[in-house]
């Protein structure tokens, strides 16, 4: 039996938490994540922010990052499309 290895596939969508994941836990900067976010945008892979933050907070961050995708906010109680 032969095995064939295919090229890795791009994800269809990326869902990410914010605090301590996309944002630095202490400074809240997203600068270290920008290269990966830019590459995902280049490949048209949507990035969905998932957070306990309020819609106002996550909307401002989403705009600053140039993201135009749904967000999950308010501890999952709100999905804004």
Catalytic residue positions? 17
Residues 6+ apart with CB under 8 A from 28: 19
**Max Cα–Cα distance, the chain, nearest Å:** 55
Distances (CA, A) of 19 to 6, 43, 49, 64, 80: 34, 25, 11, 16, 19
For the record, the structure tokens of 28 come out as 């809240």
């Amino acid at each position: 039996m032969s095995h064939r290895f295919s090229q890795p596939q791009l994800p269809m969508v990326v869902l990410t938490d914010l605090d301590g994941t996309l944002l630095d836990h202490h400074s809240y900067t997203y600068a270290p994540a920008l290269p990966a976010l830019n590459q995902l945008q280049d490949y048209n892979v949507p990035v969905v922010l998932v957070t306990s933050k309020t819609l106002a907070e996550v909307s401002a961050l989403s705009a600053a990052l140039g993201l135009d995708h749904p967000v999950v906010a308010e501890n999952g109680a709100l999905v804004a499309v």
